[in-house]
Amino acid sequence: MPLQIIGIQLLANYPEWVEKYYSQSLFQKIAEVERFLFGSIPFSIGDLLYVFFGVAIIYWLLRRIKTGFKHPQQWGLKLIAALSILYFCFHVLWGINYYRLPLHQSLSLQQEYEYEELLSLTKTLIHKSNALQEHLTEDQSQPVNFSFSFQEMKKLSVQGYDLVDDKHPYLNYNFSSVKKSLLSYPLTYMGFSGYLNPLTNEAQINYKLPRFKFPTLITHEMAHQIGYAKENEANFMAALATINHPNPYFSYAGYTFALQYCIADVARHNPKDAKRLVEKINSGVRKNYQESYDFWEKYENPLEPFFKLFYGNYLKVNQQPEGMQSYHYVVGLLVNYYQGEQAL
């Protein structure tokens, strides 16, 4: 374990090496094999692994309590050995991606942006979101209804990455392995939309969520599967795979997803500007947002902040020093990506 920790700390100093030899090379082969092996299984092996680990931990604790935690030199060594194996598997199978080049560097984008550039992009996103909402509902006041099956959404999500692959060949996605999580109820009460199991490279989706969120959620988890470990970068990839999607429902999901982040960032700079911009959003679009807000409010519980605190600390340990707030890095990527040659 100590040798592994030292090795990971050394790797963190060489992001170019990680990018070239692990993230774009070794990891891609590992991930494709895992998605090929587990993708056709209809249920989540990753969920079952977590249940097994949970039961094993409880059983281990009960045995230690029963014996009064005697002979710590024996069970302590076994515990460290088990953790060492998990630590090794986590990093080799996926976790080293946390130490790759930041996405804005690999895409040759600036990280900073001017407030006027943010306002310009936000207005464009409002216009696009409104236009698609009117096209799909023929009524500015009606929310967009997503009637796709889960299987259809998976196939359309892969199609979104095929389009991204045309511009950025190293972002290709092969062998789909996206599943409804068997733990959707616990995930909901914990406040999470889905997760990637780093040991099996399966993307688990919280199927209780409003379907309006599925396109960006699935493409977000797919971004994790191809090696974008950081949440902010996976959010940007989800926007990229949906905004220019040929399916108007996916495109609508992408525009409104990006718009949420931009409006929030405008509010951080100037709440009055944010209020004026929100008033320009069709009421039907706002109803889709409200649907998501109402869903999470329904399941709000006293334990959720503790899970968020734990996950925020996990992000900080893994190269995301702002924790949960690091999600807003996606705004900088969006502004600078669409300031270049790319057109919305």
Task: Compute how many other C-beta atoms are within 10 angstroms of the C-beta atom of residue 81.
Answer: 10
Token duo for residue 28: 């891609």
> Are 291 and 210 in a shared domain?
yes
Considering the entire predicted model, what is its pTM?
Answer: 0.89
Structural contact between residues 236 and 333, judged by C-beta atoms closer than 8 angstroms: yes
Residues 53 and 110 in one domain: no
Q: How many CB atoms lie within 10 A of CB 149?
A: 9
Q: How would you write the pLDDT of the chain (344 residues) with one tens digit per residue?
A: 889 999 999 999 999 999 999 999 999 999 999 999 999 999 999 999 999 999 999 999 998 888 888 888 888 888 999 999 999 999 999 999 999 999 999 888 888 899 999 999 999 999 999 999 999 999 999 999 999 999 999 999 999 888 776 666 667 788 899 999 999 998 898 888 999 999 999 999 999 999 999 999 999 999 999 999 999 999 999 999 999 899 999 999 999 999 999 999 999 899 999 999 999 999 999 999 999 999 988 887 665 555 455 444 444 545 555 544 555 788 999 999 987 555 66
Structure tokens at 205: 């989706």
**Is residue 343 assigned to a domain?**
no
Q: Write the single-letter amino acid at 243.
A: I
DSSP for 188-257? Answer: HHHT-SEEEETTTTEEEE-TTS-GGGHHHHHHHHHHHHTT--SHHHHHHHHHHHHHT-SSHHHHHHHHHH
Q: Give the contacts of 337 (CB within 8 A, at least 6 positions apart).
A: 107, 109, 236, 240
Number of domains in the chain: 2
- Give me the domain span that covers residue 38: 2-99
Same domain, 139 and 24: no
Residue 342 covered by a domain:
no
End-of-domain residue from the set 80, 99, 118: 99
* 48 lies in the same domain as 169: no
